[in-house]
Chains A and B, each alone.
Chain A
């Protein structure tokens, strides 16, 4: 992750040349997923991260352009990507709810209930692996999965493609973004991913305090809470919700077992990371979620079982739920009542303004 984040390759001339070569060769390569090129055309734009965030990692084969981001944004809010034209991506990732749905478990087409809590999309751009169980290795790979998922948008990809292909507005937008009007799954994925890379949450009171030199940005309780958050003998929160010297994602992008979801018989109804890896130690482990904007993304945990930040802090104060794969970092947590109250206050300091142009396209 560090290597990816250490420099921004998009700005380097060699990278641009490479992109041209890739763009020229891709349509002819046998690895192509469809007949049309899925390489964005037009000049890549620089996504400037807000205070407290590192450079946004950009895959070499999907440099974001104004046109691909605009297309992704339109797709994101389009319910036609669902079987009955009622459920858009934004249905579960509503910008008014911190790009979540505020529900314990998400509702898909026909009111079907999923098994997990919708994670925020804020800063998903930085995650090395996507989904609670990390089963997708990029935003591109992740983007279309909920469209076809039977308990989410439940629409076969060929149906989505033909629905979009018959719409003149999309034809123009796909042409602008990818050089021709053709719709392909890969183009949809790339446009959605590029839009998602613009959903960045930083410049919070914490960032202004920690990285902006504004020592008034946090309240005294929040400053105490930050100290508890970092203290390995008290909160030990940074063991997973990382804070770096010049930026903070509040997640290590890794998978940990807090015991959340273990039942009376010691079993996990949702086996988490194990579902992907089939490694026993991954049973009940889930991706560390970012804590950015966490005050606006209740309820919490992969199954949405904890309703408030206080309940979350108390869950950790109790060292979670014992089980054979419990992360050792849970065992050292020691929180007094004041520590717990301060931590809750600190968590409220992680919300900053979202960039413009993230809402439904019609309204902007």
Chain B
């Protein structure tokens, strides 16, 4: 009982001597991760080609007539580009390292990846981006678009972008291969975004070729995704400072 007045006094003193600012919540300082940087003395380039065996179907024409502004903006006839092939090569395949980089953290590039809506078409149709890298979305068209990445691992969202509107700057916080993208207004517009947590990815060019530079020595599972033909994997071992090659061949469905 005797201690009670003392306790009260202490409380009073404590209360009385805290006129200063309330304790500030410490700002969230993420510990800077140790980024892995490939050693140029040992890193190598992985090259290859994506091929199509057999005959590809004729691309179907796309009818944009429901939006005359799109017909005018597209300049020329539009065709389905879900399977682009020239003399047995396959364009727009996404090639990435599916495994073999575990435990390594890579710096996020400060340069954004850009996707443009031009001629009521996404450019490019297939693109890769690193986790948290900025995706800059441009509308070059005289019409409104509504870009809608239908993500499942990441947050799904859609956003309207009118003619002349400023670019959008978005990012994806988790790896996800691939995120299908559509325009909510123009049903024929499609794109695919591969979100990976490393810089080792590529999209095959018109001649089917791809190049992934600067890979550190090691054994990797290299995966290829194609919009209509599915996925394939191969094991590849990169020896120090020795360029390697891996080719993939898809069959038409």
A317 / chain B contacts, CB cutoff of 8 Å: 144, 146, 184-185
- Provided the pairs A306-B162, A307-B162, A338-B66 are in contact, do residues A314 and B143 lie with their beta carbons within 8 angstroms? yes
Q: Looking across the interface, which residue of chain A has its beta carbon closest to that of B144?
A: A314
B158 to A322, Cβ gap below 8 A?
Answer: yes
B143 / chain A contacts, CB cutoff of 8 Å: 314
Complex partner residue of A264 from B65, B148, B168, CB under 8 angstroms:
B168
A337 to B162, Cβ gap below 8 A?
Answer: no
B159 / chain A contacts, CB cutoff of 8 Å: 259, 262, 321-322
B99 at the interface (CB under 8 A from A): no
Q: Looking across the interface, which residue of chain A has its beta carbon closest to that of B68?
A: A337
Cα A337 to Cα B160 with chains together (Å) = 16
Cα A166 to Cα B165 with chains together (Å) = 50
A318 to B146, Cβ gap below 8 A?
Answer: yes
B175 shortest CB reach to chain A, Å: 21
A306 / chain B contacts, CB cutoff of 8 Å: 162
B145 to A318, Cβ gap below 8 A?
Answer: yes
B42 at the interface (CB under 8 A from A): no
Interface centre among A260, A318, A336, A338, by most B CB within 10 Å? A318
Cα A335 to Cα B183 with chains together (Å) = 13
What is the predominant secondary structure among interface residues of chain B facing chain A?
loop
Cα A310 to Cα B159 with chains together (Å) = 17
Cα A345 to Cα B145 with chains together (Å) = 20
What is the predominant secondary structure among interface residues of chain A facing chain B?
loop
Q: How many residues from A make CB contacts under 8 Å with B?
A: 22
A319 to B66, Cβ gap below 8 A?
Answer: no
B144 to A337, Cβ gap below 8 A?
Answer: no
B170 / chain A contacts, CB cutoff of 8 Å: 264
B160 / chain A contacts, CB cutoff of 8 Å: 259-260, 314-315, 318, 320-321
- Contacting A at CB under 8 A, from B39-81, are 65-67
B107 shortest CB reach to chain A, Å: 22
B169 at the interface (CB under 8 A from A): yes
Interface centre among A259, A307, A320, A337, by most B CB within 10 Å? A337
A305 at the interface (CB under 8 A from B): yes
What 1/0 mask marks residues of chain B from 164 to 193 whose CB sits below 8 Å from any chain A CB? Answer: 000011100000000000011100000000
Q: Looking across the interface, which residue of chain A has its beta carbon closest to that of B134?
A: A264
Cα A310 to Cα B185 with chains together (Å) = 12
B247 at the interface (CB under 8 A from A): no
Q: Looking across the interface, which residue of chain B has its beta carbon closest to that of A314?
A: B144
A337 / chain B contacts, CB cutoff of 8 Å: 65-67
A231 / chain B contacts, CB cutoff of 8 Å: none
Cα A336 to Cα B184 with chains together (Å) = 11
Complex A-B: 23 CB contacts under 8 Å: A264-B169, A264-B170, A305-B162, A306-B162, A310-B144, A311-B163, A314-B143, A314-B144, A314-B146, A314-B160, A314-B162, A315-B162, A317-B144, A317-B185, A318-B146, A318-B183, A318-B184, A319-B146, A319-B184, A320-B158, A337-B65, A337-B67, A340-B67
Question: 7 additional contacts, CB 8 Å, given A310-B144, A321-B158?
Answer: A314-B185, A317-B146, A318-B144, A319-B184, A335-B185, A336-B66, A337-B66
